Structure 1
Amino acid sequence: MHAAFELDMPTLVLARVVSIVVFAIGIPIMTLRKDRPETAIFCWSLVMAILSWVSIIAAVATENLYIVAIYAGCISGTVSLQWAAVVVMTGRKVHSAWFVVPPVGVALGIVVLQMPATDASILSCVVLGLQLGAASTFIMLYGRLAVRRSTAVLMALGYTFSFFSAISRPIELLFFGSFSLYATSGDPANSAAFLGSYIGTTLIILSWLAALKDRAEARLAALAFRDELTGLANRRYLHEQGRKLWTQSRWQGTALTIVALDLDYFKRINDRWGHEEGDRVLAAFGAATAAATPAPTVAARMGGEEFCLIYVGVDAKSVHGFIERLRDDFAQALRLPDGEPVRFSAGVAQAGPEDDGLNNLYRRADNALYQAKASGRDCAVIGLPLAA
């Protein structure tokens, strides 16, 4: 019965080290770019994992206290770097203390306290278990902000497997009074811990490749549906998302209001100050719109100096107030080289039962925009419903 649970551990250890080396070389070749620091950090974690395996084999062979400390620091540093990579990927701030203290602390603790091999291994497993548990929890909470939910679940599952592998050693010592220190031991308990760690590492690497794929697809979607100059959505996204919002508002009975907007005398800006100044104005308006409170459900550049905003669940009167505030805020925030503010005109139209689609509603907002221009510009006009 005992033999049934024994594995060819030397071969498995070698296979694991080789697979990590392959990924450590392959991932940078396939995906490493200057604008993807999370990939570089993750690759360094794989290098650290290789060092941890080299050091643990050396520690078992020599039983040297300092090599044991190096192993404990390397394996803790591997998880620290991977967690830091995920934090960077989610766009959150990396607190260096979270990632530096565990590996440095466990290595110094082993050396300063002159721990025997058993105590050093237990300390390393406890610290590693805390890191893995925290990383798994963080990914479940924030991972979906950067990658698909399925990818976040797969990644969290990998860290969960590794977590149980790490805490199995202290549990084994607690209930059985001893455990195997040798990485290549065929002991059943050691085999189970190794398998848990092996599965966890494999899932983590596979989920990281899936995360890189998710990020690449998100970049392509941004290129397809975003206006590069203003950072707002483009006409294609407005039409696709607008149809969905139209159907949703009809089904739920919520208000849907469209704003057709045009920067006043924009051609004069280009003619007098040049296209670079015109681009600066457009980019500033995009930033002002994105920072507006409340933000529109969809904000898109239709082309040139023309924009369209969609508000869901807000009536035309309230949207008119939002636009007037945006108009004043934008005029105060941006000035032309001669000190003059940039103004805009807007037409506001709220969907009614007579409207037969989003295009019809946009035409009403566009007609209201022409009324605003005819009345002297620098204002917003609410368009009348079709019944009127």
Structure 2
Amino acid sequence: MQLDFLTLLATTAISLFMISASLPLIMGRNISASARYVQASLLLQALAWAAIIASTYVPATLADRILSTVSIGCGSAAQWMNYRALAGWLGPRPWPRLLLVLVVATPLGYFSSFGSYAIRVGWANTLLAAVTLLVARATLQPQRPAETGWRRLIFVSMLTMAGLTLARGIVGAFTDQYPSFRTPHPVNLAFALGACVTVVLNTIAMLVAWRDEAEIKLRELAVTDALTSLPNRRGFEKRAQAMLAHARRHDLPLTALMLDLDHFKQVNDTHGHEVGDRALQLFSRLLKETRRDGDLAARLGGEEFCLLLHSDASAGAPLDQRLRQRLRQAAPAELGLEIDFSAGLAVLRPDDTSIQPLLARADRALYEAKTDGRGRLHSATQDAMN
């Protein structure tokens, strides 16, 4: 059976257009930047193949030159979109500047060398192969949790296409066996067939990556407070246990601060729940800005917050004072009213086998602070401190 090169390309282009039209329906509107990059990549690939097919039917040299260059540009831009998608899923990827230079240089060099078939074919295919290799490399060594399966599928697909693309460049640039784009040379046919197959494989892999991203976000939502973006009680307890284990393993101190906004019900009743929500968001922001790296802040529910410090009790009072001062300055300006908080402090004891006894002591100290008049820090081991 004789494979027809243009038929294979047309099949690939039609498949890409159909996938490009279907993905927005499957993914919906509220998707991440990575998912949008994937959609853009597929559309650019479809346009690349459509443009190169159209270029074979135009008699004018200028039209052929423009359509061919558009095809090369769309193809290289599609790989940049794939790279950006991988960076969103896996964290910063290596050599972004080099890749961007190659993406831009590929169509520019092709257009400027159009008068020489050997040079333009060698240039475009060599650079496209390099671009594809860099995208394949981007699937390795993720900085964020990611399944191996879909990354391996993209890596193999990209590696295969890089090899076939480079072979096309070598045959076109250094032999006379590939005198035109439509030549049914075995390398050319293998390239077209490989493109048709890898489109399907990469689409499957990208859909799996998008599904994994959605699952990770769902897990994050389960342990994150939607209003303040701080860990909720479930997320706090999970991370607090890890901090406790680290403190025990390295013989480090651990201090808990329980924090509660004073007269918060009155804020809601007098100023409305919208102002109350803004007050919670303001306090959360200041809490995150005041803590040190490595400290854990969380909203445990309502107006109650917790801060877990990798330090002894001596760090608690200064942090409380900084937070209290910043709140007194920011609340009138941002909310139009003054708000304050009460706090209870407790330190880890040698006989604490879990995080719960520590939190319970801090919570009792918080209750004492509120009983003594609010707006103060009370330590589980000391008298009240104003």
Could you tell me the TM-score, scaled by structure 2's length? 0.79
Deviations 1:19-69 (A, max 9, x none): 433422321111031453443342232122122222333445668333322
Match of 1:379 in 2: 376
Query: 1: distance between equivalents of 2:145 and 2:340?
Result: 36
352-361 or 105-114, which moves further after superposition? 105-114
Deviations 1:213-232 (A, max 9, x none): 12211232233222111111
Query: 2: distance between equivalents of 1:150 and 1:378?
Result: 54
Secondary structure of the corresponding residue to residue 291 of structure 1: helix
Contact 2:344–2:380 under 8 Å retained in 1: yes
1:325 matched to 2:322: yes
Match of 2:79 in 1: 79
Match of 1:165 in 2: 164
User: CA 1:82 to 1:363, structure 2 compared with 1: closer, same or farther past 3 Å?
Assistant: same
Which residue identity does 2:22 align to in structure 1?
Answer: G
User: How far has the Cα of 1:261 moved from its partner?
Assistant: 1.0
Deviations 1:321-358 (A, max 9, x none): 33332332333233277855422222222222222322
1:52 matched to 2:48: yes
Query: 2: distance between equivalents of 1:81 and 1:282?
Result: 39
Quick one: which of 218, 227, 230 aligns to 1:229? 227
Match of 1:261 in 2: 259
Query: 2: distance between equivalents of 1:220 and 1:324?
Result: 36
Match of 1:27 in 2: 23
User: CA 1:125 to 1:239, structure 2 compared with 1: closer, same or farther past 3 Å?
Assistant: same
Query: 1: distance between equivalents of 2:109 and 2:235?
Result: 56
User: How far has the Cα of 1:282 moved from its partner?
Assistant: 0.2
372-381 or 262-271, which moves further after superposition? 372-381
Quick one: which of 211, 214, 226 aligns to 1:213? 211
Query: 2: distance between equivalents of 1:188 and 1:259?
Result: 71
71-80 or 112-121, which moves further after superposition? 112-121
User: How far has the Cα of 1:363 moved from its partner?
Assistant: 0.7
Question: What pairs with 1:67-106 in structure 2 (closer than 5 Å)?
Answer: 67-87=67-87, 106=106
User: How far has the Cα of 1:305 moved from its partner?
Assistant: 0.7
User: How far has the Cα of 1:209 moved from its partner?
Assistant: 0.9
Deviations 1:100-145 (A, max 9, x none): 976665445444444333322222223323433444445546x544
Secondary structure of the corresponding residue to residue 30 of structure 1: helix
Deviations 1:262-304 (A, max 9, x none): 1122223223322221111001112222333414543221221
Q: When the two structures are aligned, how many residues end up with a matched partner? A: 375
Which residue identity does 1:39 align to in structure 2?
Answer: A
User: How far has the Cα of 1:306 moved from its partner?
Assistant: 0.5
Which residue identity does 1:53 align to in structure 2?
Answer: W
Contact 2:300–2:306 under 8 Å retained in 1: yes
Contact 2:13–2:47 under 8 Å retained in 1: no
Secondary structure of the corresponding residue to residue 67 of structure 2: helix
User: CA 1:248 to 1:15, structure 2 compared with 1: closer, same or farther past 3 Å?
Assistant: farther
368-377 or 228-237, which moves further after superposition? 368-377
Match of 1:241 in 2: 239
Match of 2:122 in 1: 122
Could you tell me the TM-score, scaled by structure 1's length? 0.79
What is the RMSD of the two structures over their aligned residues, measured on CA atoms? Answer: 3.8
Quick one: which of 357, 360, 381 aligns to 1:360? 357
Match of 2:38 in 1: 42
Match of 1:370 in 2: 367
Query: 2: distance between equivalents of 1:290 and 1:161?
Result: 47
Which residue identity does 2:39 align to in structure 1?
Answer: C
Note the residue ranges of structure 2 that are not aligned, 5 or more in a row.
none
User: CA 1:188 to 1:86, structure 2 compared with 1: closer, same or farther past 3 Å?
Assistant: same
185-194 or 344-353, which moves further after superposition? 185-194
Query: 2: distance between equivalents of 1:181 and 1:56?
Result: 16
User: How far has the Cα of 1:307 moved from its partner?
Assistant: 1.0
Contact 1:81–1:99 under 8 Å retained in 2: no
User: CA 1:8 to 1:65, structure 2 compared with 1: closer, same or farther past 3 Å?
Assistant: closer
